[in-house]
Amino acid sequence: MTREQARLSILVLTEDSAAGSCETIAALVKKMLLLMDSACRTHLIAFEPQDEQAQRAMRGNLWKSRNPFDRQKIVLLGRAIAAKLIEDPIGFVAFHVDGDRRWAERASSENVPKFAEFVSTYVQPGIDNALRRQRARDALTTSDQDIARAAAAAVARLLRLTPFRSIEAWLYQNTAEARRLCQVACGRHVAKIDGWAADRGALDELEDPKAELCLGSEHHLDLAQRAFPADEVFEANKSYAAAVIGLLDCADLCAALARTHA
């Protein structure tokens, strides 16, 4: 697919440094978008992987570091996000960061407020400056209030995806694929996986989902792509549902999905 053929584009950022992590997040997002708008055509959506600078800033949660030696990397990440959000046609950013808490303890997750701090410190100024430069360059009579509205709309296109406790709590929801992979690897966790299929909300309450199975990160993309049961996971009404509802709150995203209709 060329960029000209796409009806919208989404820059994918993830704290996961495993191979194929951006493709994994993109696959999960596609399922979420279909829940939002079943008529949307996801082949008309361009998912852009993070570049090398963004990878360095995202790895190991560096984006929330307060170490002065990390500041330049974080500044560059904020600028990259801001540039994407004010593209014409408008762009979107999917930002994956784990909650690092069980869903029941989500109020104590530091990553959600730190994300808001990161946006206000590193992304918002970049958006404001770019919009003001655009106004000066084009000799527009745009008011400060217009810029504030445009900046708020741009920030709303930064889409936070936060699984609790970790991304495996979403990926292991693909119990059919996890069961198949486990049977190939060792077969010792089949009963546990069947239990999650019967109680999907249980996965969000595990202390360390990644340690529960014999599956390594090399299977993440398979779990995200192969018949992922998005409707059932949404019905569990935990972190996956919260992420989908957060996407629905973005009016520009809903309008962009409508533009992909046949």
Task: Delimit the domains of the chain by residue range.
Answer: 3-168+234-258
Comparing CA positions, the residue from 72, 161, 78 lying closest to residue 117 is 78
Q: Which residue has better confidence, 88 or 66?
A: 66
pLDDT beyond 80 at 254: yes
Q: Is the peptide bond before 165 cis (omega within 30 degrees of 0)?
A: yes
Average pLDDT over residues 167-192: 97
pLDDT bracket for residue 44 (50, 70, 90): very high
Q: Which of 3-7, 33-37, 95-99, 246-250 has the lowest mean pLDDT?
A: 3-7
Provide the pLDDT for residue 67: 92
- Determine the Cα–Cα distance for residues 123 and 95; give it in Å rounded to an integer: 13
- At residue 2, the pLDDT reads 46
Residue 13's pLDDT is 94
Q: Using N-to-C axis directions, what is the helix angle for 71-85 and 144-156, rounded to 10°?
A: 100
Q: pLDDT band at residue 120, thresholds of 50, 70 and 90?
A: very high
Instruction: Report the pLDDT value the prediction gives residue 57, as an integer from 0 to 100.
Output: 77
pTM, full prediction: 0.93
Q: Can you give the pLDDT at residue 98?
A: 96
Partners of 48 in the β-ladder: 11
Rounded mean pLDDT, 167-178: 98
For residue 82, give the amino acid letter: A
Asked whether residue 118 carries a pLDDT value surpassing 90, the answer given is: yes
Confidence of residue 88 (pLDDT cuts 50, 70, 90): confident
Q: What are the φ/ψ torsions at residue 10 (nearest 5 degrees)?
A: -130, 120
Answer yes or no: is pLDDT of 1 > 50: no
pLDDT of residue 143: 87
Query: What percent of the chain stands above pLDDT 70?
Result: 98
Q: Is the pLDDT of residue 53 over 80?
A: no
The answer to whether residue 253 scores a pLDDT higher than 90 is: yes
For residues 246-256, give the mean pLDDT.
97
Q: Which residues contact 157 (CB under 8 A, 6 or more apart)?
A: 85, 90, 91, 92, 93, 250, 252, 253
pLDDT at 3 over 70: no
When the pLDDT of each residue in the chain is averaged and rounded to a whole number, the result is 93
- Mean pLDDT (whole number) for 128-149: 86
Is 57 or 248 the better-scoring residue by pLDDT? 248
Using pLDDT thresholds of 50, 70 and 90, give the confidence band for residue 135.
confident
Phi, psi of 129 (to 5 degrees): -65, -40
